Amino acid sequence: MTDFYDALEARDPAAREAALLAALPGHIARAQQATSAFAESLAGVDAAAITSRNALAQLPVLRKSALLERQKALRAQDPFGGYAAIGWRGLRAGSGAKRVFQSPGPIYEPEGDGPDYWRMARAIFAAGFRAGDLAHCSFSYHLTPAGSMMESGAHAVGCTTFAGGVGNTELQLQAVAELRPHGYIGTPSFLKILVEKAADTGTPIGSITKAMVGGEAFPPSLRDWLAARGIAAYQSYATADAGLIAYETPAREGLVLDEHILLEIVRPGTGDVLPDGEVGEVVVTVLNPGYPLVRFGTGDLSAVLPGPCPTGRSNTRIRGWLGRADQTTKVRGMFVHPSQVAEVARRHPELGRARLVVEGEMANDRMTLKVEVAGAPDGLAAAVAASVRDVTKLRADVQLAAPGSLPNDGKVIEDARSYN
């Protein structure tokens, strides 16, 4: 198993699916019993009956905006808003949290006990790190959990870490030159800064031949730029709430899912699961007893890729980060949400993909709802336009389009206005 972090990565897909679904009822029950938030949102749900993806898809999606609002409302009683099953003296859980972090919002996230709590080792191993390597970690070690996430994963692989943190470019370059780390872990943009600064100053950093990057977009142009300078960089997709979601492999064909999550791609603004290949919001159920998230909407767009990874890893692959799912915009002084577009489509079952395009100059907005439909009956466009007025309180033109003609990019609302 030298090519894989563990045997889980190459197991039979049917065995993986069976194991995940077998763990689901206990996970739901844990969320209901150990957290006040899920006790409310999943009230009346028979956890023992949640044994399939279809059953899971009937549960509500928890979006980050709702998590933040509940945390704010319950700050005085519970900084986690009732979503954590671990904490410290004075909280409902009473114990179990090793650290607590603050992400922008602010959103508070707990770190539980045990090695590699965020499961980052799998991504770090896939990027080429091995036991005995020195990893230069340039993620933040303060407030946000990124530094701790990556360091705990590197330690699980068996690496030594240098806690570089963010900034202090000259000092970090000095450390690279003197410690000679085997690889870099951090944002791709800061790695580029380090490489350029090293070239300008003549600082030797040739010991870094691999990198695991995350936290921001990693375009192929930057990947190739780094490769031309002797650094093979691979990306991971993780959040402070869910931990590792997916990671890149040497195949460079999408990102392979972590072994401890159930992933769904849903239509933005809804909980409706989309077919494989359709772009939608990434929703994950994370099998973490300390922070038992159920159908957590990340707000990120992606799509499932067909087939297994050429490296032999057998888990599902996704295309990577394709943008943000929350496309809420303001039209003529009123907010229009993706969920409203979904509601219009739901009222007309014959409709397929829908896309609301907002055009014109500011204060002179016009909306056009483009919808895919096969064999449209007479009067459908007028009926859909009436539904738009009813749901959004705004007028829109309706354009009927052939099935498959609208872009498969996850956009439900396209803001094409001029802001000049």
The enclosing domain of 358 has a CATH number of 3.30.300.30
CB 184, CB 154: distance < 8 Å: no
Q: How far apart are CA 392 and CA 385, in angstroms?
A: 11
Instruction: Establish if 137 belongs to a structural domain.
Output: no
Instruction: Establish if 384 belongs to a structural domain.
Output: yes
In 3D space, the residue among 212, 238, 239 whose CA is nearest the CA of residue 104 turns out to be 239
Domain total for the chain? Answer: 1
Parallel, antiparallel, or unpaired: how do β-strands 183-186 and 210-213 relate?
A: parallel
Instruction: Establish if 189 belongs to a structural domain.
Output: no
Average pLDDT for 39-49: 97
Lowest mean pLDDT among 156-165, 204-213, 369-378: 369-378
Instruction: Establish if 403 belongs to a structural domain.
Output: yes
Q: Give pLDDT tens digits for 208-220.
A: 999 999 988 899 9
Task: Residue 409: give the domain boundaries.
Answer: 329-415
Res 1: pLDDT: 41
Instruction: Establish if 119 belongs to a structural domain.
Output: no
- 417: pLDDT confidence band, cut at 50, 70 and 90? confident
Three-class DSSP labels, 273-291: ECCCCCCEEEEEEECCCCC
Q: How far apart are CA 265 and CA 211, in angstroms?
A: 29
Res 242: pLDDT: 95
- 338: pLDDT confidence band, cut at 50, 70 and 90? confident
Judge whether residue 419 has pLDDT over 80: no
Judge whether residue 101 has pLDDT over 90: yes
Q: DSSP class of residue 43?
A: T
Res 326: pLDDT: 79
Provide the phi-psi class of 81: left if phi over 0, else alpha when psi is between -120 and 50, else beta: left
What is this structure's pTM? 0.86
The tally of CA atoms less than 13 A away on the side-chain side of residue 80 is 30
Report the share of the chain in percent with pLDDT over 70. 98
Q: Give pLDDT tens digits for 213-252.
A: 998 889 999 999 999 999 999 999 999 999 999 999 999 9
CB 191, CB 167: distance < 8 Å: no
Average pLDDT for 315-327: 89
Instruction: Establish if 351 belongs to a structural domain.
Output: yes
**Mean pLDDT, all residues of the chain:** 93
Instruction: Establish if 141 belongs to a structural domain.
Output: no
Lowest mean pLDDT among 12-21, 259-268, 273-282, 411-420: 411-420
DSSP result, 307-332: S--TTS--S-EE-----BS---EEET
Instruction: Establish if 388 belongs to a structural domain.
Output: yes
For 268, the token pair is 């933005």
